[in-house]
Amino acid sequence: MAGLKDFLRRAEASFDAGVDRVTLSKGSPEVALTEKGVVAGTMQVNLHWTNREEGPARRSSGEVWRGLLRPTLFKPMPLPVASAQPTAVDLDLGCLYELTDGTKGVIQPLGELYGDLQHSPFIKLSRDDRSGAPSGETMYIDLSKKDSFRRLLIFVYIYDETPAFDRTHALVTLFPPGGKPIEVKLDQQAAQARSCAVALIENRDGVLKVRREAKYVYGFQAELDRLYGWGLQWQRGYKPVS
């Protein structure tokens, strides 16, 4: 797994004017990660955000996968009265995965489900950033195990006491090894959204394709699960006080 310093150098270079990159949009939503079924190395997926403006807090949290492969219904919690005190932004990066052997699960900070790069599911989240630091949050995906992946849903959700997506500038960038960075901007004014399906990576006859989703939902992970038919069971979860 590439180190954080190496990732930061690559991320900084990707935003230089002379470096080409792919921005997925409504008009051009899809790109192939692999060509002719040949792929090797570790892909980095980075979430970075900054606060758009200060504003009232909206109380929210997230959901933890319970590991049971059966669907369940969850009712979104209502928003309480907004506070006059501004709060720090805390977005979280996650990934719903489905492997070719039928294994399903999630990678996310809640529940400390950070994954494993050396073993199944071959996906690992580096850490939980709660402040929008320059490095943001980074997920690593072992593309040499592409035949083990059926589909991966990259998503972002808003954690407790965080303003909604319309109060942040958020960007998710995929760094395939040896390829152009692929970015998805989360720039829609989805004021009440709590979660966003960012990109769907699918294995199509041995070729990994990434498609921009940018679908905002009012609920949390369970809502994304239902939207894409993952079939996991979820419960309310909270982070420990730092």
What's 205's domain CATH number?
2.60.60.30
**pLDDT band at residue 139, thresholds of 50, 70 and 90?**
very high
Beta-carbon contacts of residue 16 (< 8 Å; ≥ 6 apart): none
Q: Does residue 179 lie within any of the structural domains?
A: yes
182 near 209, Cβ under 8 Å? no
State mean pLDDT over 111-126: 93
Rounded to 5°, angle at Cα 143 from 23 and 187? 25
CA quadruple 97, 33, 158, 94: dihedral sign: positive
Which has more confidence, 167 or 74? 167
**Closest residue by Cα to residue 4 from 179, 135, 175, 112:** 135
Identify residue 20 by its one-letter amino acid code: D
Which run of H or of E encompasses 40?
none
Helix (H, G, I), strand (E, B) or coil at 137: strand
Q: What tokens were used for 16? A: 């230089």
Look at residue 21 in the predicted model and tell me its pLDDT: 87
Look at residue 107 in the predicted model and tell me its pLDDT: 95
Q: Does residue 240 lie within any of the structural domains?
A: no
pTM (2 d.p.): 0.79
Q: Does residue 50 lie within any of the structural domains?
A: yes
Look at residue 51 in the predicted model and tell me its pLDDT: 72
Which has more confidence, 218 or 13? 218
Share of the chain above pLDDT 70, in %: 66
Q: Tell me which residue range forms the domain holding 56.
A: 4-235
Look at residue 109 in the predicted model and tell me its pLDDT: 87
**pLDDT band at residue 6, thresholds of 50, 70 and 90?**
low
Per-residue pLDDT tens digits for 146-205:
999 999 999 999 876 565 677 778 899 999 988 889 999 998 877 788 899 999 999 998
Q: How far apart are CA 180 and CA 21, in angstroms?
A: 5
**Closest residue by Cα to residue 22 from 187, 215, 172:** 172
Identify residue 149 by its one-letter amino acid code: F
Which has more confidence, 14 or 54? 54
Q: Taking 90 as the threshold, does the pLDDT of residue 114 lie above it?
A: yes
Q: Does residue 34 lie within any of the structural domains?
A: yes
Q: Does residue 242 lie within any of the structural domains?
A: no
Per-residue pLDDT tens digits for 30-72:
999 876 555 678 999 999 887 765 544 444 456 666 654 443 3
Residue 45: count other Cβ atoms within 10 Å of its Cβ: 25
Look at residue 69 in the predicted model and tell me its pLDDT: 41
Q: Does residue 44 lie within any of the structural domains?
A: yes
Computed over every residue of the chain, the mean pLDDT equals: 77
Rounded to 5°, angle at Cα 138 from 137 and 142? 160
Q: Does residue 147 lie within any of the structural domains?
A: yes
Q: Does residue 13 lie within any of the structural domains?
A: yes
User: How many domains does the chain fold into?
Assistant: 1
